[in-house]
Chains A and B, each alone.
Chain A
Amino acid sequence: MRHLVSVLVEDQPRVLTRITSMFARRGFNIESLAVGRTHLPGISRISFVVRGDDRTIEQVEKQLNRLVEVLKVVDHAGPHLEREVALVKVRVDGVEGRLEIKEIAEAFRARIVDVARGALTFEVTGHPAKVDRFIEELAPYGILETMRSGALAMDRGERAVRLKGRKEAV
Chain B
Amino acid sequence: MTGAEVLLEALAREGVEVIFGHPGGAIMPVYDALYRRTDLRHVLTRHEQGAGHAAEGYARRTGRVGVALATSGPGALNLVTPLADAMMDSTPLVAITGQVPTTAVGTDAFQEADVTGVTMPVTKHNYLITDVNDIPRVVKEAFHIARTGRPGPVLIDLPKDVQNDEFTGSFPEDVDLPGYKPASRGHPRQIQKALEALAAAERPVLMVGGGAQHAAESLRRFVATTGIPVVATLLGLGVIAAEDPRFVGMPGMHGSVAANRALQHANVILAIGQRFDDRVTGDIARFAPQAHTIIHVNIEAAEIGKVVPTAIPVVGDAAWVAERLAAGARPLDLGPWWEMLRGWMLAHPFQVPEDGALRSQAVIRAFYEATGGEAVVVTGVGQHQMFAAQFFPIKQPRSFLTSGGLGTMGFGLPAAIGAQVADPEARVLLFDGDGSFQMTLQELATVKKYRLPLKMIVLNNGHLGMVRQWQDLFYDDRYSEVYLADSNPDFAKIAEAYGIEGVVVEDPAELGAAVERVLAAPGPVLAEFRVVPEEAVFPMIPAGGSAEDILIDGSEVAE
* Residue ranges of A at the interface with B (Cβ–Cβ < 8 Å): 9-10, 13-14, 17-18, 21-22, 25, 55, 58-59, 62-63, 65-71, 163, 165
Indicate the member of A66, A71, A163 with the most B CB atoms within 10 Å. A66
Closest 4 CB pairs of A and B: A62-B302, A71-B179, A68-B125, A68-B180
Residues of B within 8 A of A71 (CB): 178-179
A21 and B121: CB pair below 8 A? yes
Please give me the residue from chain A that is nearest to B178 by CB atom: A71
Contacts of B300 in A (CB 8 A): 66
Bound state CA distance, A10 and B125, in angstroms? Answer: 14
Q: How far is the CA of A4 from the CA of B179 in the complex (A)?
A: 21
Chain A residues within an 8 Å CB radius of B366: none
**With A and B bound together, what is the CA distance between A13 and B180 in angstroms?**
17
Known: A13-B128, A63-B302. A69 touches B179 (CB 8 A): yes
With A67-B179, A68-B177: A14-B301 Cβ-Cβ less than 8 Å: no
Q: Is there contact, CB below 8 Å, between A66 and B120?
A: no
A68, B179: Cβ atoms closer than 8 Å = yes
Among B127-151, those with CB < 8 Å from A are 128, 145
Q: Does B336 contact A (CB under 8 A)?
A: no
Select which of B116, B124, B145, B180 is within 8 A of A14 by beta carbon.
B116
Interchain CA distance A18-B177 in the complex, whole Å:
17
Residues of the A chain whose Cβ atoms lie less than 8 Å from the Cβ of B177: 68
Which of A9, A13, A14, A59 is close to B306, meaning CB atoms less than 8 Å apart? A59
CB within 8 Å for A58 and B305 given contacts A10-B179, A68-B125: yes
Q: Provide the bound-state CA to CA distance between A34 and B302, in Å.
A: 24
A10 CA to B117 CA in the complex, in Å? 18
**How far in angstroms is the closest Cβ of chain B from A56?**
11
Closest CB in chain A relative to B144 CB, distance in Å:
10
Q: Chain B contact residues (Cβ within 8 angstroms of A): what range?
A: 10 to 19
A63 to B128, CA, bound (A): 22
CA distance A97 to B117 in the complex (A): 50
Residues of B within 8 A of A68 (CB): 124-125, 145, 177, 179-180
- Assembly CA distance A18 to B125 (angstroms): 9
Query: Across the interface, do A17 and B117 meet the contact criterion of CB distance under 8 Å?
Result: yes
Nearest CB of B to A22, in Å:
8
Docked CA distance A63–B305 (Å):
12
What are 24 A-B residue pairs whose CB atoms fall within 8 Å in the complex? Answer: A10-B178, A10-B179, A13-B128, A14-B116, A14-B120, A17-B117, A17-B120, A18-B120, A21-B120, A21-B121, A25-B121, A59-B302, A62-B302, A65-B302, A67-B125, A68-B124, A68-B145, A68-B177, A68-B179, A68-B180, A69-B179, A70-B179, A71-B179, A163-B178
Q: Say how far A7's CB is from chain B's closest CB, in angstroms.
A: 10
Which residues of chain B have a CB within 8 Å of any CB of chain A? Answer: 116-117, 120-121, 124-125, 128, 145, 177-180, 300-302, 305-306
Q: Which residues of A contact B116 (CB under 8 A)?
A: 14
- Look across to chain B and name the residue whose beta carbon is closest to the beta carbon of A64: B302
Tell me if A66 and B302 are in contact (CB < 8 A).
yes
Give the complex CA separation of A165 and B300 in angstroms.
23
**19 extra A-B contacts, CB within 8 A, seeds A14-B120, A21-B120, A63-B302:** A9-B179, A10-B179, A13-B128, A14-B117, A17-B117, A17-B120, A22-B121, A55-B305, A58-B305, A59-B302, A59-B306, A62-B301, A67-B125, A68-B124, A68-B125, A68-B177, A69-B179, A71-B178, A165-B178
Given the complex, which residues of B lie within 8 Å of A62, measured CB to CB? Answer: 301-302
Residues of A contacting B117 with CB < 8 Å?
Answer: 14, 17
How far, in angstroms, from A21 to B121 measured CA to CA in the complex?
7
In the assembled complex, the Cα of A9 lies from the Cα of B178 at a distance in Å of 10
Most buried by A among B116, B180, B302, B306: B302
List of B residues within 8 angstroms of A14 by Cβ: 116-117, 120
- Closest-by-CB residue of A relative to B145 is A68
Bound-complex Cα distance A18 to B116 (A): 10
Complex CA–CA separation, A49 to B31 (angstroms): 48
On chain A, the residues within 8 Å of B301 by CB distance are 62, 65
Could you say which residues of chain B place their CB within 8 Å of the CB of A22?
121
In the assembled complex, the Cα of A2 lies from the Cα of B145 at a distance in Å of 33
Residues of B within 8 A of A63 (CB): 302
B180 contact set on A, CB distance < 8 A: 68
- Residues of chain A within 8 A (CB-CB) of B125 are 67-68
Residue ID in chain A nearest B309 by CB atoms: A55
Chain B: which residue is nearest A71 at the CB level? B179
Q: Tell me the smallest distance from the CB of B169 to a CB of chain A, in Å.
A: 19
Min CB distance, B506 to chain A, in Å? 47
In the docked arrangement, what's the CA distance between A59 and B305, Å?
8
A55 proximity list for chain B (CB < 8 A): 305
Contact partners of B120 in chain A: CB under 8 A: 14, 17-18, 21
- Cα distance A55–B284 in the bound complex, in angstroms: 15
A10 to B301, CA, bound (A): 21
- CB closest residue in chain A, given B305: A58
Q: How far is the CB of A46 from chain B (nearest CB, A)?
A: 13
Contacts of B124 in A (CB 8 A): 68
Question: In the complex, which residues of chain B have a beta carbon less than 8 angstroms from the beta carbon of A66?
Answer: 300, 302
| Nearest CB in chain B to that of A43: its residue | B178
Of all chain B residues, the one with the shortest Cβ separation from A67 is: B179
Chain A CB within 10 Å, residue with most, of B116, B180, B300: B180
Q: Which residues of B contact A163 (CB under 8 A)?
A: 178
Chain B residue at smallest Cβ distance from A24: B121
Closest to B303 in A: A62
